């Protein structure tokens, strides 16, 4: 698969065209960002670490029947993915209250939730990704009712697969963010999981000590960010 022109440069990944319009190359850079791009840095080995963690998790999800855009690892920092038209919303599931939910409702971070809570956010850095509901999404035309139902169902299915996987590795899956879209070759077909699953987009706490193993280490200046991402990889069995 030949890597061609740059298509899109995000905050941590760059997407390249290939010689096949149905496939793209996702390149994981060493950049890290937080607070909608207000805090930026480069972290040595971040790209290769996240590329491998994502490949491992996406592989587990596909094996369990969740359709994903991931095709295969190409090299240290590149993965081949199906070209997608993404929906402009982020899907978050929370097993433990943390981050923006703790702040919004004045609930102590670390409060266990009796059931997973699903939230939608609009993907818009300039507006700081506001929380939105099903009506906003449907009536303002960001996704239709069927797509909304599929996003909720699939995000909960991913939780049912990944929560126990992390638990076995001694890690609490506190919350995570997923993004969905349609593959270009089947734009009316079922939704497919896109983007990534890495410690950049979830919260992972050591089950015994509560130590943070995710991007909060960067957001909150806790240090040794990538060492902790690599610890996650080792514990879940993702080859580094
Ligand atoms: N998240 C993300 N990208 C975003 C916003 C959130 O990957 O633009 C992830 C975040 O890492 C966490 C979960 O979604 O695992 C819930 O994030 P929250 O709403 O608590 O926002 P935060 O306080 O992390 O900005």
Cβ proximity of 207 and 216 under 8 Å: no
Strand 180-183, strand 84-86: pairing? antiparallel
- Of 86, 162, 173, 201, the residue with max ligand 1 atoms within 8 A of its CB, to mutate for a pocket test, comes to 201
Judged by DSSP in three states, 161 sits in: helix
Q: What is the pLDDT along the chain (240 residues), one digit of tens a residue?
A: 899 999 999 999 999 999 999 999 999 999 999 999 999 999 999 999 999 999 999 999 999 999 999 999 999 999 999 999 999 999 999 999 999 999 999 999 999 999 999 999 999 999 999 999 999 999 999 999 999 999 999 999 999 999 999 999 999 999 999 999 999 999 999 999 999 999 999 999 999 999 999 999 999 999 999 999 999 999 999 999
CA quadruple 166, 168, 172, 175: dihedral sign: positive
Q: What is the pTM of this model?
A: 0.98
Q: Tokens for 66?
A: 């969740």
Give 3-state DSSP helix, strand, coil % of the chain, rounded to 5: 30, 35, 35
From residue 3, alpha-carbon distances to 16, 17, 140, 183, 213 in Å are 6, 6, 36, 19, 33
What is the position in ligand 1's atom list of the atom closest to the CA of 102?
Answer: 20
Cβ proximity of 182 and 189 under 8 Å: yes
Q: Measured between alpha carbons, how far is 34 from 62 in angstroms, rounded to an integer?
A: 29
- Of 36, 99, 109, 198, the residue with max ligand 1 atoms within 8 A of its CB, to mutate for a pocket test, comes to 99
**What domains appear along the chain, each with residue ranges and CATH number?**
3-84 (3.30.200.20), 86-224 (3.30.470.20)
């Amino acid at each position: 698969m030949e890597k061609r022109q740059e298509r899109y440069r995000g905050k941590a990944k760059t997407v390249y065209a290939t010689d096949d319009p149905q496939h793209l190359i996702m390149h994981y850079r060493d950049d890290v960002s937080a607070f909608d791009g207000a805090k930026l840095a480069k972290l040595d080995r971040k790209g290769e670490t996240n590329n491998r963690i994502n490949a491992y998790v996406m592989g587990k999800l596909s094996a369990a029947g969740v359709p994903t855009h991931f095709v295969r690892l190409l090299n240290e920092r590149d993965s081949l993915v199906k070209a997608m038209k993404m929906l402009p919303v982020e899907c978050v599931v929370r097993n433990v209250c943390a981050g923006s939910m703790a702040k919004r409702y004045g609930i102590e971070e670390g409060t266990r939730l009796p059931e997973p809570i699903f939230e939608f956010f609009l993907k818009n850095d300039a507006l700081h990704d506001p929380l939105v509901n099903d009506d906003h999404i449907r009536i303002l035309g960001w996704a239709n009712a069927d797509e909304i139902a599929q996003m909720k169902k699939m995000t909960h299915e991913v939780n049912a697969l990944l929560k126990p996987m992390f638990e076995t590795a001694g890690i609490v899956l506190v919350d995570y963010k997923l993004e969905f879209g349609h593959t270009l070759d089947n734009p009316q077909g079922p939704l497919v999981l896109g983007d990534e699953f890495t410690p950049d987009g979830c919260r992972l706490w050591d089950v015994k000590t509560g130590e943070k193993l995710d991007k909060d280490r960067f957001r909150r200046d806790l240090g040794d960010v990538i060492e902790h991402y690599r610890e996650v990889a080792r514990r879940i069995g993702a080859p580094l």
